């Protein structure tokens, strides 16, 4: 085998021009859906449809062969049946293409014949200086190029998280959920069968990529585990990598083999190796997204002590339980802090941690309590369950809809305006407090909104659906802090 040409990931994530082989006018075909995704995603480079039967595809002049395109082609995307892919790859080689995405499936994931074809394809490409994503990939996303070269119609929120996934469905689902979880993406690769480029190649690139702050990876199996873990270990001391492993059980491993051809291996060995390399092991996709949001936006807690602020006693109980179950401490308050909070809260507040504000509605009081708690030297993070405008906001829309005349309209408008202002103020103040004290505030079930303009503290503020999720996330932030500290990085 000749020397492996190093992959130029700039061609993949920032191509100036794309040839789409198999582009189609038929919206029932992937060649049409991928093309629509690219066009509607806002990609500003040139796209050349390659189609042997059509003059134009979706309004663009089509070319029968990739090498007939009268322009440089940075990236080829191939979405035609498997038996014609080799010919298309050879056309691309003739054109001088150095990077291609092979969407087409029916390769090593379906059996020996497909595996042979995949091997031939890879060797043909490599020996001509071309590198391949896939085959059997769902495509890639790149925020910097506005490029959504994907089968599913996802329009990811933009940010600093990058993802490589051995399952295209899971990867694109993760992208799609980003908005909901407050996770913005920089780059995504569905690595498919990894006939040529593998997870560790993308990982190494993300490790060096200045646009990537947090890395996610969905793994079913590794052909070269040693290389993967070596690549990962070089990254984790400066950027967190969150991993989710599919194929943890015999039934899952059997399914993985039939789908990506991956050998899932023994889960305990994987888990141990991942942890040793400093990766964070997520047990659900939702956890992965919650942690990604937190690592993108929060300072790391420098200890395991959590202050809890709540407006409802039960939620305080659940949060305290969840913290302890994660190995976090919920330190009892000391007298000085109790006295400070006494000045803010009604006499029958909980006098403990969780700080139960006992159904107090005032948002000024909430912010005062929050600052007392986060500034206390005995906590390293705060979980806040009270940062919303209380029950008033919910009842307002109901009064408007059904309670005509009960309360004057101008009074309702006034209250609604206050709530919206308060939410923006709290958002800004929570961000400021995190900056001032360099501790994370994990907000649960809130509806905080980023204020319009003029804010210095432009940290984005993920919000958690439940206190259990906030507690687990706080635990992972601390776990990563400890890992870095052990390496002398904190």
Q: Which of residues 352-391 bind a second copy (CB under 8 A)?
A: 352-354, 356, 358-359, 361, 391
Kindly tell me which residue out of 220, 290, 372, 388 binds a second copy, with binding defined by CB under 8 A.
220
Residues contacting residue 315 through CB under 8 Å, at least 6 positions apart:
385, 444, 467
**Of residues 53-112, those binding a second copy (CB under 8 A):** 58-59, 105-106, 109-110
Of 3, 6, 28, 458, which lies in the binding site for a second copy, with binding defined by CB under 8 A? 28
Q: Where are the alpha helices (DSSP H) in 140-218?
A: 168-181, 199-208
Q: Which is nearer to a second copy, 15 or 152 (CB)?
A: 152
Residue 333 within binding range of a second copy, rule CB under 8 A: no
Provide the CB-side half-sphere exposure for 287 (13 A, CA): 19
Which residues within the stretch 129-168 sit at the binding site for a second copy (CB under 8 A)? 151-155, 165-168
- Site stretch for a second copy (CB under 8 A), options 126-134, 311-319, 433-441, 454-462: 311-319
Residue corresponding to tokens 């709530």: 419
* 8 A C-beta contact, residue 60 and residue 49: yes
List the 241-245 sheet strands across, edge first: 147-150, 139-142, 185-190, 158-165, 214-219, 241-245, 280-281
Choice from 242, 280, 330, 382 touching a second copy (CB under 8 A): 330
Rule CB under 8 A: is residue 320 a binding residue for a second copy? yes
What is the closest distance, in whole angstroms, from the C-beta atom of residue 479 to a second copy in the complex? Answer: 19
| Residue of 230, 394, 436, 485 that binds a second copy (CB under 8 A) | 394
Choose which of 230, 313, 364, 409 interacts with a second copy (CB under 8 A).
313
Mask 256-295, x = binds a second copy (CB under 8 A)?
x-xxx-----------------------xxx---------
Pick from 142, 296, 304, 350 the residue near a second copy by CB under 8 A.
Answer: 350
Q: Does 169 bind a second copy (CB under 8 A)?
A: yes
Q: Kindly tell me which of 92 and 344 has the beta carbon lying closer to a second copy.
A: 344
What stretch of H or E contains 139?
A: strand 139-142
Q: Which of these segments, 198-206, 224-232, 406-414, 449-457, binds a second copy (CB under 8 A)?
A: 406-414
218 near a second copy, judged by CB under 8 A: yes
Beta bridge partners of 99: 131
Q: How far apart are CA 276 and CA 299, in angstroms?
A: 23
Q: Look up residue 473 and give its two tokens.
A: 């996330």
407 sits in which H/E element: none
Nearest approach in angstroms of CB 255 to a second copy is: 5
CA 182 to chain centre: 8
DSSP 112: H
Q: Which residues contact 404 (CB under 8 A, 6 or more apart)?
A: none
Query: Least distance in Å: CB of 392 to a second copy?
Result: 7
Contact status: 51 vs a second copy (CB under 8 A):
no
Alpha helices by DSSP H, 326-383:
335-342, 363-375
Q: Which of 391, 372, 390 is nearest to 441 (CA)?
A: 372
Chosen residue from 86, 115, 317, 449 binding a second copy by CB under 8 A? 317
Window of 89-97, 127-135, 242-250, 477-485 that interacts with a second copy by CB under 8 A: 242-250
Residue choice 86, 124, 338, 399 for contact with a second copy (CB under 8 A) = 399
Residue 250 C-beta-side C-alpha neighbours within 13 Å = 0
User: Looking at 86, 124, 255, 338, which residue binds a second copy (CB under 8 A)?
Assistant: 255
How far apart, in whole angstroms, are the C-alpha atoms of residue 88 and residue 333? Answer: 69
- List binders of a second copy among 420-479 (CB under 8 A): 445, 465-466, 468
Q: Phi then psi for 207, rounded to 5 degrees? A: -60, -35
């Amino acid at each position: 085998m000749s020397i492996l040409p190093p992959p130029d990931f700039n061609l993949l994530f920032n191509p100036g021009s794309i040839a789409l082989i198999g582009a189609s006018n038929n919206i029932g075909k992937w060649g049409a859906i991928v093309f629509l995704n690219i066009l509607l995603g806002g990609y500003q480079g040139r796209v050349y449809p390659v189609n042997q039967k059509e003059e134009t595809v979706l309004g663009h002049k089509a070319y029968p062969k990739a090498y007939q395109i009268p322009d440089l082609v940075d990236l080829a995307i191939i979405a035609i049946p498997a038996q014609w892919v080799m010919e298309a790859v050879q056309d691309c080689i003739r054109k001088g293409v150095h990077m291609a995405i092979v969407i087409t499936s029916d390769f090593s994931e379906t059996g020996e014949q497909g595996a042979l074809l995949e091997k031939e394809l890879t060797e043909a490409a490599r020996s001509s200086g071309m590198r391949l994503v896939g085959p059997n990939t769902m495509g890639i996303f790149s925020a910097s190029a506005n490029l959504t070269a994907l089968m599913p119609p996802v329009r990811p929120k933009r940010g600093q998280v990058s993802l490589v996934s051995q399952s295209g469905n899971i990867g694109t689902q993760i992208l799609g959920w980003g908005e909901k979880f407050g996770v913005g993406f920089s780059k995504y690769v569905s690595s498919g069968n990894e006939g040529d480029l593998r997870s560790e190649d993308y990982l190494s690139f993300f490790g060096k990529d200045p646009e990537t702050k947090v890395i996610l990876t969905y793994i079913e199996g590794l052909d070269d585990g040693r290389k993967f873990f070596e690549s990962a270990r070089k990254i984790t001391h400066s950027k967190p990598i969150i991993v989710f492993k599919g194929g943890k059980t015999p039934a899952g491993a059997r399914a993985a083999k039939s789908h990506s051809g991956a050998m899932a291996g023994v889960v305990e060995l994987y888990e141990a190796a991942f942890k040793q390399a400093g990766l964070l092991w997520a047990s659900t996709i939702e956890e992965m997204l919650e942690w990604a949001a937190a690592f993108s936006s929060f300072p790391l807690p420098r200890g395991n002590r959590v202050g809890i602020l709540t407006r409802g006693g039960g939620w305080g109980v659940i949060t305290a339980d969840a913290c302890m179950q994660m190995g976090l401490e919920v330190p009892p308050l000391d007298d000085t802090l109790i006295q400070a909070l006494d000045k803010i809260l009604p006499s029958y507040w909980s006098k403990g941690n969780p700080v139960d504000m006992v159904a107090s509605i005032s948002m000024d009081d909430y912010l005062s309590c929050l600052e007392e708690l986060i500034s206390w030297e005995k906590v390293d993070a705060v979980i806040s369950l009270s940062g919303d405008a209380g029950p008033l906001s919910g009842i307002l829309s109901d009064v408007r809809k059904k309670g005509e005349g009960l309360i004057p309209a101008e009074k309702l408008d006034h209250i609604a305006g206050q709530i919206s202002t308060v939410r923006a103020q709290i958002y800004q103040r929570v961000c400021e407090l995190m900056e001032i004290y360099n501790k994370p505030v994990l907000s649960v079930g809130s509806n905080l909104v980023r204020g319009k303009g003029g804010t210095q503290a432009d940290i984005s503020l993920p919000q958690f659906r439940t206190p259990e999720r906030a507690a687990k996330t706080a635990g992972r932030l601390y776990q990563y802090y400890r890992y870095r500290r052990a390496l002398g990085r904190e």
